[in-house]
Structure 1
């Protein structure tokens, strides 16, 4: 074949190939399963509750790639439990955003620029995707977005209860900003709320591991069936069932729901309990601030959860405000990490503030078990809904992960009330001798 004929053939081949972006979209329409295609309609959240291996990552990456190429100048967010998850799975993984964009004819320095240390991907058309994580949820304050993809939403909100809200506050660019949430289900309040909103502004897609069996290794599927079929873990991780209670957790949802009230009787004693963050700043752990009281009927009432992630001076001010708002009798504060300095900080704001300092020496299970028993006996009521601390209670499994700060503050408040406010009895309870 002479050079002229070869050139003509190459031009003809290029014409047949067409636009690589449209070809990539056509490829996904043909090869993606119907439930993986971005739904039509006026939805705000597309929630994908699916088992391991369903293709959640590929689905989120395809949606984001399509949006970024179709809408030049788009600002997008990718949120995952950790920065490494967002980088290694959502962007650089086999089914991640870079792999999808490669089919669009884009690659490093040829249509896109990927800065893995900053977690920022930019396209030549002006669109960009920035990585965020539950490790530093405060990074979601401020940035605005047209579209977002949250991978493993249930774990994100479990690790950082305010991350979802911070994301939604910034989802305000363009005519119709939207979020795609891909997750294996956990019984957290955000997931339950979104499921209840299906057919309103939420599109719910459910799927199991076996829906994608054609793309998964046969031996792996066989092992899944042999080891997990019929088990609770298999129901959650393979079939994506939303199960209410977590095995090994010290609290059950029914204990909270069965005794929930909208108002409480007159209280004989009220405390504000504080579990301070070890570090300070917007990306620190939360400072647990929980208000509880004992009623004239002898029952215990959890009145408010004012936990916050902020600076020491700010949370100290919030503690004093809670003390005033609920006309509390005492502040109970854990001082393992900060010692007398924490009490001094509070007294800088209110010099005569009555403070009971707690120095816990025993494991958190020892402290939590008697409070869990109060719930099981039906002696505790939550006043209204306290979703974030309730999620922590019902998903914490001792010895598996560190106990969360909201839960710790609640435990201190009820342990103190249940020992009658006696310093000696309270200290004995903390030491596991009661």
Structure 2
């Protein structure tokens, strides 16, 4: 089977002086012109061209909407059909109707990319497309794997594999029949979704990725509008940026929870615009252990007049020394008019507050010391989001990725070594919880950590409920108590015994 030399042709043409262009194109010969019109060779962006070399069998193109996946697939199949008159091609979509509507008759489909003098015939009743060369393409559905049991092909183009109803069975039957010719090949074009077949192909295939914004032929207004509306959200990262967004089993935050808690577009730092009323604003800080270590988590959170707690800004920074991150914290506090900074002092002790006050002597700093793991400290905060009492004013992709890696009961399975952004958010949110305004407080133990530690007694008072734990006889430590505030049901102030 003849295979077009896309990249080689384009490199030769791009390197050619204008005066020699016609001679060079003639030298490349009819082979190139038969395979592609010069316009596609020169206008395709890098990720729309097949992988280099001949050592691949599966090509996965995983990209955002509007990237040009359909055009790339149609041009690839058409070029192979022009050069190989006996080619048998499988066209597999989510349904037969989608094969016809998108892959064959779509705006960028096989009929649309045919040359003006090419007679491409589509017989919908038979599901067969016949190219001018005599090569044929056959339509199949990702919902009907039995349709691919038996037929043999040289080449396949599979579209939107993440949507296939019976993806694994359909793929396996296709691959078992992809055995004609010396080099069978398959192209799978899809918007990424965390389904088994997509994960499998990422491990097995040559993969190219792309974003909606990479397609320079899209109207700039469209790209700007989509980015403004969906940029940074789970939907935008998947559908526009072509990212594969995974869910972690047992996570405190899920992607669905985060989207449900999206409280609207970003708010503006002071002076507040549009009448947004924030009753309190604080900055949470999780300092790095060293300049070359983890990020310094710097997250701004606020309490709205209606009691809703909001993530306002993520100013976290990597690779900064103490003076650098201290200045970033002070800048965030000043920009948002924060009433105080909540800084964890496990790494650096009193030096943390000293560094911050070295930049701004008047900066109100409250030092807090972590006594439980990051995931365990996050449990009461996650409960606020689940109850609809906390949300995100805007999109914060890196912070959200970390939140989705914090595991219920303890542990972390997310990006980076440590969820520093998430921890900074937890400190800020904990400070803003009902019942905490004014008086200093220590972080409260999460329910999962207290479970089985002793016997609890409860009593109700005017302002809420008091829960007290008494250790069984013979165990160290004596009592621990915390309050559940009567307004809103969130964990409020209190103290925790040192030897829980």
The TM-score, its normalising length taken from structure 1, stands at 0.49
Bigger radius of gyration among the two: 2
The TM-score, its normalising length taken from structure 2, stands at 0.43
Higher relative contact order (CA 8 A, sep 6+): 1
